[in-house]
Amino acid sequence: MSEALTALEADVRADLARIAHPHAAWLEPKTGPDGKPALDVLIIGAGQSGLAIGFGLMRSRVSNILLLDKAEEGKEGPWLTYARMPTLRSPKDYTGPDLDIPSLTYQSWHEARFGKESWQALALILREHWAEYLLWLRRTIGLPVRNGCELQEIAPAADGLLAARVKRGDAVETLYARKIVLATGQEGMGDWMIPEQLRDLPASSVASVADDIDFESLRGKRVAVIGAGASAFDNAATALEAGAAEVHLLCRRAQIQVIQPYRWLTFRGFLRHLGDLDDAWRWRFMRKILEMREGFPQPTYDRCARHAAFTLHEGAPVEAARQTDDGVELQTPRGVVAADFVICGTGIDMNFAGRGELAKFSGNVATWADRYQPPENERNARLGRFPYLADDYAFTERVPGETPWVADIHLFAIASTMSFGPSGSSINAMTTAVPKLVHGLTRGLFRADVERHWASLCAYDVPQAVVTRPARAREQSR
Ligand SMILES: Cc1cc2nc3c(=O)[nH]c(=O)nc-3n(C[C@H](O)[C@H](O)[C@H](O)COP(=O)(O)OP(=O)(O)OC[C@H]3O[C@@H](n4cnc5c(N)ncnc54)[C@H](O)[C@@H]3O)c2cc1C
């Protein structure tokens, strides 16, 4: 490691020591049915959200925690797996997992790793560097993470605990925890959408942007990309760069969406207080934002537009699709697009039942459609399927009393967005959203222990001073 990084790590330790107040431990581990101490919080997902949540908990002296991730170390989240852009899309100065500690920001890491001039010259953060930074952050803070561990099921256990069934290799173990946070990323509550018009096509001809696509095999082929968000463009560009003969990007709208609503919402008032508004306002804001969808940055567009093989089709929703002897035919109002391979960049749809780890309670998760009926001109069935969360990001029950233990399962992912605005769906919200979740978690742990705290106060007998009385006062009191 470079001297500069070693010095930065010393700065981090010094910064954290300066703001460590209050130091006092305040939790006592409960004992699980296996006789071992149960975790206070089990975090599923060691992507940037899981790391920041773990860090926030440790700063609140909740250190009996564990993070699990099914991915191998360094391969968490999209950055080194299915992200197909050279750089992050967000501006380089958006802070996030650092939770407002200057020495832990990406900028501090970048300057220590590559020099201040390199930071000045940098336009956008390389995604490989972002992934490396996240690993550095996790090690520097000392977060307890186990990779290669997949959460398979959550069930209630004795004494108000939750039982998490976890698979690691061929072994399966049960971990007990008071609370579980699901920081499981974009697809944590559902699936990448394949439009229903395409569902009868052979699986070998269709993929989603999150699939492991062999782009080399698309050399000389015709590729259709459905959707016009940033990931759709990234996949189109990757196909073009791999030598695809034609790449057609099919945009449903009459004109492509170039506004980025996530830039508009990046201010503390919205990020912190959207969740404090009533349902009508929350729905109105988030429907507008999520229906607009995220716009793409200029370099993302340019990466496609510079290839003669690229064609953008606007006003071209796919109405029907069929497999022919010569590949796939996609019917649109603007005519037929022929392709050998189709990539869908059409976003995520909620599907709680499709996620094994939610199986014990997926049928009783309250959704927005269960709790709020918007006016006719604001309806959106897809958004109605998002979970309706409590103010501490916990699931709420569709039928009260059937699975009350879901109040200790908290969700921090794109699916939390309808309830609170960006959470797990962009870096810009992390410094505001993660502390809000952490407060919710500590509030729940404190409230559940209130009798122990009361007994502790009543038994508290630690003198803070020794009172010595002068001899005259002693005589007078006789
Ligand atoms: C292609 C792409 C590019 C993006 N670019 C940007 C950008 O430039 N700027 C920005 O602000 N945002 C961006 N985002 C949005 C957001 O910042 C990322 O999605 C980010 O990865 C979210 O972090 P996360 O920790 O919430 O989820 P993830 O990084 O996805 O991490 C979730 C983790 O949970 C693990 N997991 C899931 N289920 C289980 C299970 N059952 N058991 C154990 N582990 C499990 C996964 O292995 C994964 O590592 C981008 C998103 C995508 C998809």
Interval between CA 382 and ligand 1 midpoint (Å)? 21
381-408 confidence digits (pLDDT tens): 999 999 999 999 999 999 999 999 999 9
Indicate whether residue 68 lines ligand 1 (CB < 6 A): yes
Delineate the domains of the chain, giving CATH numbers in brackets: 3-190+349-450 (3.50.50.60), 194-258+295-346 (3.50.50.60)
| Closest C-alpha to 331, from 220, 430, 201 | 201
- What does pTM read for this prediction? 0.96
Tell me what pLDDT residue 97 has: 97
Q: CB of 425 closer than 6 A to ligand 1?
A: yes
Per-residue pLDDT tens digits for 32-83: 999 999 999 999 999 999 999 999 999 999 999 999 999 999 999 999 999 9
Residue of the CA atom closest to atom 51 of ligand 1: 78
Whole-number pLDDT of residue 473? 67
The atom number, within ligand 1, closest to the CA of 414 reads 26
Average pLDDT, the chain: 96
Task: For residues 176-189, give the mean pLDDT.
Answer: 96
What whole-number distance in Å separates Cα of residue 87 and Cα of residue 403? 43
Torsion of CA 320, 350, 354, 357, to 10 degrees: 160
User: For residue 278, what pLDDT band results from cuts at 50, 70 and 90?
Assistant: very high
- What's the pLDDT at 457? 98
Nearest atom within ligand 1 for CA of residue 152:
41
What is the mean pLDDT of the segment spanning 339-367? 95
What's the pLDDT tens digit per position in 416-475? 999 999 988 799 999 999 999 999 999 999 999 999 999 999 999 999 999 998 877 666
* Residue 293 pLDDT greater than 90, yes or no: no
| 150 CB near ligand 1 (under 6 Å) | yes
Res 324 pLDDT > 70: yes
Local confidence band at 206 (pLDDT 50, 70, 90 cut-offs)? very high
Q: Quote the ligand 1 centre to 423 CA distance (angstroms).
A: 11
CA of 78 to the centre of ligand 1 (A): 6
> pLDDT tier at 251 (50, 70, 90 boundaries)?
very high
Tell me the average pLDDT across 180-200: 94
Helix (H, G, I), strand (E, B) or coil at 192: strand
**pLDDT score for 295:** 83
Pick the atom of ligand 1 nearest to 88's CA. Answer: 8
Q: Is the CB of 78 under 6 A from ligand 1?
A: yes
From ligand 1's centre to the CA of 435, what distance in Å?
Answer: 18
Give the percent of the chain with pLDDT over 70.
Answer: 99
- Sign of the Cα torsion 31, 37, 40, 42 reads negative
- Amino acid, single-letter form, for residue 41: V
Per-residue pLDDT, 1: 72
Q: How far is the CA of 51 from the centre of ligand 1 (A)?
A: 11
Whole-number Å distance, alpha carbon 185 to ligand 1 midpoint, is 4
Q: Could you tell me the CA-to-CA distances from 252 to 140, 192, 196, 314, 345 in Å, in that order?
A: 45, 17, 15, 6, 12
Please work out whether the CB of residue 190 comes within 6 Å of at least one atom of ligand 1: no
**Bond into 22 cis (ω within 30):** yes
Find out whether the beta carbon of 347 lies less than 6 Å from any atom of ligand 1.
no
Q: What is the pLDDT of residue 478?
A: 64
**How far, in Å, is the centroid of ligand 1 from the Cα of 471?**
71
**Predicted pLDDT of residue 469:** 85
The answer to whether residues 220 and 376 touch, using CB atoms and an 8 Å cutoff, is no
Among the atoms of ligand 1, which is closest to the Cα of residue 83?
Answer: 1
What's the confidence (pLDDT) of residue 109? 98
For residue 413, report the distance from its CA to the centre of ligand 1, in Å.
8
Confidence of residue 477 (pLDDT cuts 50, 70, 90): low
Predicted pLDDT of residue 474: 65
SS3 assignment for 396-428: CECCCCCCHHHHHEEECCHHHHHHHCCCCCCHH
Would the CB of 54 count as within 6 Å of ligand 1? no
